[in-house]
Chains A and B, each alone.
Chain A
């Protein structure tokens, strides 16, 4: 089973590498959207580990993303000259790959450590309380960055290199999906599901529920950190406001729309919700729309919020959800 997944992953990575050779043929606008979709896939699948499989509710994923983004960006901004010259004998491609890979890993680790520190105390809480505490941590991370001059404060941080490309994004996405799927099918994953389905029974069975929750939380933060690193080296500019509460809501929406606990659904939802705002932009520019409607759509947050409500009303269990529904407790 695991072996088969490994083969699938390797084949996928090879395919992504092959496709990325042709990336220059994609229009830059579409290329950008595709990369954002990939980054959102990483964010949503990793959050699904917490919100979907483990049944906890985190509203602070953007906070971990920002930790990763800043850590990776600070590394490439400050260390790239030294690292690249030391690795010169390996050639440009290899040395950049190593530099960027290390930066992403550092971003992931920084986020994971933050996740661990946040998770240990807060995962004792449940439901709405956990949601508000993670939201709070997300805001605290933001305010701290705003007040640290070395990170650029509220003025933001320019990232010197735009290393992020199709291969890096989708290879990371594939690995994230692979890790999540494997984990869910492992002993640990059974632990996650048990925690979600009946925490009290799990505890009665001698399962250390806190351990599983913290593990899921830390791992999700790790991948969010990597996604942050990818994001920073794509837009080449980051500022604390970019990782605000709305960004966390965006990611949670992907998870819920995809059907919590369904990786395929979440991947699909992440892609749909990345394209949606751009589709609304396209729609608002159609000349055949009545003037007032075009004007209303021009403020894209109005149709976006309405669609959000409608999607929740029409498919409250998510597009592919329903099989692993979180049982409602009275």
Chain B
């Protein structure tokens, strides 16, 4: 009986199709993220970053004289949920913009709905080029695959590493896209791919792939994956006496990377949005506040989630309204925004252009190597 009585009010709301578009003294911002399920480690990080940004905005008095209300919905890492959630956020909660998701597959489900309803959507970390191609209301603050792939390919060649092996994650479109871009860039510039191997998210044994890579005698190995697997790959590679450097992208940044890898990643290189020892106050402030609030160092997702919210706030302030199309136009006009992940300018395709930095790993920390302009 208990169950039935608690279902009733919900069913009533269901039947009426009740809409919550009440007069508001708040600006409602929607967020959808994988807070539970298989991609929760990414979803929770990006959510933490977003929530930190919204806290800061509210502590500074909100936007346009109103508090910002962040409505976060969990998509359980399951297909089908994002489209339901975004419908809820837009039609039930009446949000002015949507932030999310890390996984391109989730963003691609949500994007057509935001586009149709003319609600701007800013994805923190969906790197698949198709995401922003959905329409003129869809933005992103991360690199897209071709840029980051090119950066690392050129870096490898500049160090004289011409014969490179690739070890990519077949379950992550991020990894596949980056590997593609890297391969194109390096073969176009005189390098070559001597071996290509795949693994799946969640794998913990990479010995078969590494043995076969070792036999191809590469100058370097490109591992465009996420930190959980990269740390183990590095350990096992060193156990096999593979001494060449591993190269990677922003997915490497994570609290557990160096704890698990130990010294195995020393002398390896990866591209990122920012360097934690960059003296820029934006970055230092973010790292400090994030650590204070969550007790761990921010990873790439957290930084991108933070920037997605900050860019939205900046656009709302500049537009002076949350009405469309003024807000969309203000987001599209974002230029040289001083974000944690760099000076962000949104280009005509609504993708972020910003410089990348290349970092190396030494003495249990990341060290700045060089800066690569877009």
Contacts and interface: CB of A to CB of B under 8 A. Distances in A.
Question: Do A and B come together as binding partners?
Answer: yes
Interface residues of A, number: 43
Contact of A29 (B87, B108, B171): B87
Contact of B88 (A29, A154, A234, A304): A29
B127 to A, nearest CB: 10
Contact of B92 (A29, A234, A242): A29
Contacts of B128: 155
A328 interface: no
A81 to B, nearest CB: 18
Contacts of B171: 146, 154, 241
A219 interface: no
Interface stretch (A93-101, A190-198, A275-283, A316-324): A275-283
Interface string A30-53: 111100100000000000000000
Interface in B7-44: 7, 10, 13-14, 17-19, 35-37, 40
Interface residues of B, number: 39
Contacts of A277: 76, 81
A28 B109 CA distance: 15
B55 interface: no
Given A154-B172, A231-B80, A242 B112 contact: no
Contacts, number: 105
Contacts of B176: 153-155
B37 A301 contact: yes
A275 B6 CA distance: 14
**Residue from the set B17, B18, B40, B105 with the largest chain A CB neighbour count within 10 Å:** B105
A231 B17 CA distance: 23
A236 interface: yes
A241 B83 contact: no
Nearest to A307: B3
B170 A279 contact: no
A281 B74 contact: yes
Given A26-B17, A298-B35, A236 B109 contact: yes
Nearest to B176: A154
A29 B81 CA distance: 11
A154 B108 CA distance: 13
Interface string A217-248: 00000000000000100111111011100110
Contacts of B109: 235-237
Interface of A: 25-33, 36, 146-147, 153-156, 158, 162, 231, 234-239, 241-243, 246-247, 275, 277-279, 281-283, 298-302, 304
14 contacts: A28-B91, A29-B91, A146-B170, A146-B171, A155-B105, A156-B173, A237-B109, A238-B79, A243-B79, A247-B79, A277-B81, A279-B7, A299-B74, A302-B36
